[in-house]
Structure 1
Amino acid sequence: MGSLILSRLVQAAVLLIGVSVIGFTLMHLAPGGPLAFYTNSPGVSTADLVQMKHAFGLDRSVAMQYLFWASDMLRGNWGYSFFGGRPVRELVFERLPATFELMGLSMALAMLAGTGIGVVAAVRKDSLFDHLVTLWAMLALSLPTFWYGLLAIFVFGERLGWLPVGGRSTLGAGEDIAGHVTHLVLPVGVLATVIAAQWSRYSRAAILDVLGQDYMRTALAKGLSPLRILIRHGLRSGMLPLIALAGLQLPMLVGGALVTETVFAWPGMGLLFVNALSYRDYPVLMALLMLSALLAVMGNLLADIASALADPRIRLGRSA
């Protein structure tokens, strides 16, 4: 187990370095730049632009800029936003609770609903319910997340008027728990629906594979209850592939949260990323890029560890 964790940590470090180099280079090679906003401003002269470029360190080569940025990041200094001058770490930490709330609730709801639907569809294979679930999953995975968000806003916000369509709370409502919950319904529902569709397909396939095993047929031949066999033996074996899926889905969850936050004006890291991208705010973009990459890498690492703990064959294979 120790060698598994150590090898994964080394791979994670190499991957994060590669992400930082590629991301930093692509940002600086893109047309425009953070000072393009001031180029056509009548109150900003050429001398002012040169001075700002020097102050932000943009007059150095891309390689030197990267080295200075990487050195500061390792010391915990994430830099300052080009627009507003606030510390990047302060900006990001302000948005983290909203994003983690959205991602956590969506993932929990998707895992519970998707797994339950997939198990029932596997047990009732080729039934009407199974076909309807397959159709729903295909539709959910085929269309983009923002389309579902716009559809939810149109139906539940504009037409029916049941739910608020943006923000995290009602302006001037203060600490209104009920109002906060109503603001959560649409973004969590949209994001959880897309993720649950994938969970339902994987859980259905996993349970179908388990139901065809010899030990399941033997247990049935001994007269044990099918429900008891499914709960005590089928779910335990069938859920092992889903443990790895949970870690692999984290990048999808982060990307889905970015789109969902933008559609519903949810004040999290996704909306901050879109705003920073519009203004080419490099320090904010790089901080969010690295944080997203770190979450994805840690998700995969935790999935590997959980799989090894749940299945001794994985540990034996690694030690061999």
Structure 2
Amino acid sequence: MTKYVIRRIVQAIPVLFGVSIVVYGILLSAPGGPTARFANNPRITNEQREEFKKAWGLDQPIPVQYCRWLGVCNPDGQGLGVFIGPKGLPNFLPGVLSGGTNGVLHGDFGYSIDSGESVMGRITRAALPTFILASFALVIWITIAVLMGVVAAVKRNSWFDQVATIFAYVGFAMPTFWLGIMLIFIFSGPGLNILPAGGMTETRLSPPFGSNEYWAYFGKQPLAALADIGRHLILPVITLVVVNIAGDSRFVRASMLEALGQDYVRTAKAKGLSNRSVTFKHALRNAMLPVVTNIGLEIPFLFTGALVTESIFSWPGIGKLTIDATRGFDYPVLMGVLLITATLVVLANLFADIAYAFVDPRIKY
């Protein structure tokens, strides 16, 4: 198992490298750019725009910009010296050996063009709200999806199966943004108005989430702060749960039906085992094999921000950060988020393969 994990991690390095090249090239080749925000501002001269580009290195060719962002090129070097670090060794080596401090390879994702903050600082600050939202949604949606799929498979063609099928079709067809808007209209509109329409905290009662003032407030009134976050969680969690249950419940149902038709299940029933024992101890374990992979691939995108949901409910997570960075052509932030997303996808695939070995003893690495 250890050799397999090491081999997969080594294989992931060229994958991430290739992803970073493609994404970086697409972002910087797209029309617009960070200077587009100044296009309709008569107070900004062409000279000032050029100074802005030069200050952020946007006046350099895309390969040079990528090389600097990656940390392979030394901005102060000349000729082939750009690839040599302060200590005389290639700049792609760890900073302890090369002396390099700038670039992704040295843990420096750069600074946000929009705010001037470090990219990792902005991502780290947005990660906690996304983790809270994703964790609650994930636990609820997987639990309900598995139970719905199992019951629908065991009671095939029953009224429950038909209701679950209709729910799945509606969930498939329902756009996330429409569901979110409808929930806001129903529960936060002038009619009921019982739940907050957006945000993570009630700003009239507490400081903005994540600020030093907020954590001081949280220390003094933890129960009130948690209750406030809980109220703001309800609508975005419902949105994520409803949208994701539709697909996963049908996936579980299909896998469960296939497992229930296997010979070992009929043998277990012939031995006199109860239906509950056959369903949960024999069929479900094998039915979960493809489900593990499917859910494993969904988790990274959930934890890196449900873009539409966070945007609709103004949830201050990574999804909203990505939307804001896209609107402002904030390349460093976008590259940071996308590279982290790609890394999580690779790790999720690895963990899904490892989970296979625990779920199915026949699989050995």
Shorter-chain TM band: over 0.9
Residue 40 of structure 1: CA displacement? 3.0
1:137 to 2:186 alignment = no
SS of structure 1 residue aligned to 2:34: coil
Instruction: Look up the match of 1:128.
Output: 159
Pick closer, same or farther for the CA change 1:255–1:124 going to 2, 3 Å: farther
Higher relative contact order (CA 8 A, sep 6+): 1
Q: Deviations over 1:210-239 (max 9, x none)?
A: 211222222222222111222222222222
Query: Which residue identity is paired with 1:166?
Result: G
Query: Which residue identity is paired with 2:266?
Result: R
Residue 84 of structure 1: CA displacement? 2.2
1:153 to 2:202 alignment = no
Instruction: Look up the match of 2:356.
Output: 307
Instruction: Look up the match of 1:26.
Output: 26
Cα separation, 1, equivalents of 2:174 and 2:11: 34
Residue 253 of structure 1: CA displacement? 2.8
Q: Deviations over 1:76-111 (max 9, x none)?
A: 111111122111111111100011111121111111
1:95 to 2:126 alignment = yes
Contact 2:174 2:243 in 1 (8 A): no
Instruction: Look up the match of 1:166.
Output: 198
SS of structure 1 residue aligned to 2:8: helix
Cα separation, 1, equivalents of 2:108 and 2:67: 13
Q: What TM-score results when the alignment is normalised by the length of structure 2?
A: 0.82
Query: Which residue identity is paired with 2:5?
Result: I
Cα separation, 1, equivalents of 2:33 and 2:257: 53
Q: Deviations over 1:168-194 (max 9, x none)?
A: 011132342212101001101111111
1:180 to 2:212 alignment = no
Instruction: Look up the match of 2:139.
Output: 108
Structure number, greater radius of gyration: 2
Contact 1:122 1:208 in 2 (8 A): yes
Q: What TM-score results when the alignment is normalised by the length of structure 1?
A: 0.93
Query: Which residue identity is paired with 2:351?
Result: L
Contact 1:145 1:256 in 2 (8 A): no
Instruction: Look up the match of 2:149.
Output: 118
SS of structure 2 residue aligned to 1:239: helix
Instruction: Look up the match of 2:250.
Output: 201
SS of structure 1 residue aligned to 2:363: helix
Root-mean-square deviation (Å): 1.7
Q: State which drifts further: 101-110 or 245-254.
A: 245-254
Number of corresponding residues: 316
Cα separation, 1, equivalents of 2:318 and 2:280: 39
Instruction: Look up the match of 1:257.
Output: 306
Cα separation, 2, equivalents of 1:186 and 1:293: 28
Contact 2:142 2:245 in 1 (8 A): yes
Query: Which residue identity is paired with 1:140?
Result: G
Contact 2:326 2:334 in 1 (8 A): yes
Cα separation, 2, equivalents of 1:134 and 1:282: 43
Instruction: Look up the match of 1:291.
Output: 340
Q: Deviations over 1:129-178 (max 9, x none)?
A: 10110111122122321121111111222142121110001113234221
Residue 248 of structure 1: CA displacement? 1.9
SS of structure 2 residue aligned to 1:84: coil
Query: Which residue identity is paired with 2:14?
Result: V
Cα separation, 1, equivalents of 2:179 and 2:228: 22
Instruction: Look up the match of 2:239.
Output: 190
Instruction: Look up the match of 2:317.
Output: 268
Query: Which residue identity is paired with 1:77?
Result: D
Contact 1:259 1:270 in 2 (8 A): yes
Cα separation, 2, equivalents of 1:139 and 1:294: 33
Cα separation, 2, equivalents of 1:220 and 1:269: 49
Contact 2:305 2:319 in 1 (8 A): no
Instruction: Look up the match of 1:234.
Output: 283
Pick closer, same or farther for the CA change 1:197–1:255 going to 2, 3 Å: farther
Unaligned 5+ segments in structure 2 are 72-102, 207-217, 219-224
Cα separation, 1, equivalents of 2:246 and 2:268: 31
Cα separation, 2, equivalents of 1:128 and 1:43: 67
Contact 1:137 1:197 in 2 (8 A): yes
Instruction: Look up the match of 1:245.
Output: 294
SS of structure 2 residue aligned to 1:26: helix
SS of structure 2 residue aligned to 1:314: coil
Cα separation, 1, equivalents of 2:8 and 2:346: 9
Instruction: Look up the match of 2:53.
Output: 53
- Seq. identity, %: 41
Instruction: Look up the match of 2:17.
Output: 17
Query: Which residue identity is paired with 2:173?
Result: S
Instruction: Look up the match of 2:112.
Output: 81
Cα separation, 2, equivalents of 1:177 and 1:4: 42
